[in-house]
């Protein structure tokens, strides 16, 4: 029987390390990692803003931002980008910037004041992301390297997250991949079937709804959410077929073409 106050073990680092020591991404999602997650798992992703890095040294924070970590490498033709012509790199950069401009998440909570142990729901709505998979995780704050699963603050996820894909239909495949003897009440999900199209100006919308029980200790808490997505695979020249037909980004797994974005934290008062 699951204890209401038990916190499932959290996988902190899930980025793969290649033989050169380069951190590699998961461009097709993480179907084998169906567990609670920290945003640190996306160490190879670029940060969309400096606020999520406000606890880091200025130089480090600057090096993690989109322009310095991804755009500059694409413009220079570093690593796998050298395989693209200058014109194609320009086209890809234009598409990537369009994805960045049109990808966002919103968070809505059913209440901000409740009694200890009372129920609330949190709905995360995502827009954009290159696809074909995006990730969502519910966290206790919006700091990229300090955030933990929302359960660390004392909230309990009482049910499996409800995932609605870009076609408006429920998705259960990711959570069905969790070991049968374990509950599906985790803070992280993959959403599949996502495909943004910068040329057509279409940016898919997805939703994830979490049902939580408030901490038993009165006080003030915060809830945030992280949105993980790629950018390059939104257009054909940004996609490269790899092993087993799996499509990766043109810059390769270590190109930092993924993104991590946080929802504005919401304060929850329990008492």
Nearest to 37 by CA among 131, 211, 174: 174
How many whole angstroms separate alpha carbon 237 and alpha carbon 180?
Answer: 40
107: domain CATH number is: 2.60.40.740
In the chain, DSSP finds a helix count (H) and a strand count (E) of 5, 19
The domain total for the chain is: 1
**Is residue 212 within 8 Å of residue 155, measured between CB atoms?**
yes
- Note the pLDDT tens digit of each residue in 20-53: 333 345 667 888 899 999 999 888 999 999 999 9
Q: Is residue 264 part of a domain?
A: yes
- Which range among 15-19, 175-179, 252-256 shows the weakest confidence by mean pLDDT? 15-19
pLDDT value of residue 145: 97
Mean pLDDT of the chain: 90
Q: What average pLDDT score do residues 254-261 get?
A: 94
Q: Is residue 5 part of a domain?
A: no
- 3 domain residue, yes or no: no
pLDDT at 16 over 80: no
Domain range for 210 is 10-270
12: pLDDT strictly greater than 70: no
Is 123 within the bounds of a domain? Answer: yes
Q: Is the dihedral of CA 138, 142, 143, 144 positive or negative?
A: positive
Question: What are the pLDDT digits (tens) for 115-158?
Answer: 999 999 999 999 999 999 999 999 999 999 999 999 999 999 99
Classify residue 2: in a domain, yes or no.
no
Inside any domain, residue 1: no
Cα-based distances in Å from 135 to 94, 156, 234: 23, 20, 16
User: Is 4 within a domain?
Assistant: no
pLDDT(220) > 60: yes
Structural domain includes residue 238:
yes
């Amino acid at each position: 029987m699951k204890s209401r106050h038990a916190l499932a073990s959290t996988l902190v680092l899930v980025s793969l390390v290649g033989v050169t020591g380069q951190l590699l991404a998961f461009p097709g999602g993480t179907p084998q990692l169906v567990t609670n997650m920290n945003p640190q798992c996306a160490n190879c992703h670029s940060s969309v803003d400096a606020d999520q890095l406000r606890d880091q040294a200025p130089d480090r924070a600057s090096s993690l931002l989109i322009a310095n970590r991804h755009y500059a490498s694409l413009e220079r033709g570093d690593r796998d980008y050298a395989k693209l012509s200058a014109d194609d790199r320009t086209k890809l950069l234009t598409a990537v910037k369009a994805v960045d401009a049109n990808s966002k998440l919103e968070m809505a909570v059913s209440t901000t004041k409740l009694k200890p142990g009372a129920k609330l729901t949190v709905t995360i709505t995502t827009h954009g992301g290159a696809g074909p998979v995006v990730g969502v995780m519910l966290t206790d704050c919006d700091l990229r390297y300090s955030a933990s699963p929302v359960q660390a603050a004392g909230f309990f996820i009482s049910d499996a997250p409800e995932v609605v894909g870009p076609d408006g239909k429920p998705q259960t495949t990711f959570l069905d991949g969790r070991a049968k003897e374990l509950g599906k009440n985790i803070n992280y999900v993959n959403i599949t079937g996502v495909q943004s199209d910068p040329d057509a100006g279409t940016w898919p919308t997805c939703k994830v709804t979490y049902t939580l029980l408030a901490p038993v200790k009165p006080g003030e808490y915060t809830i945030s959410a992280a949105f993980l997505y790629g950018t390059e695979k939104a257009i054909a020249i940004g996609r490269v077929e790899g092993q087993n037909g799996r499509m990766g980004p043109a810059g390769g797994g270590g190109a930092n073409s993924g993104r991590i974005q946080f929802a504005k934290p919401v304060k929850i008062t329990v008492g």
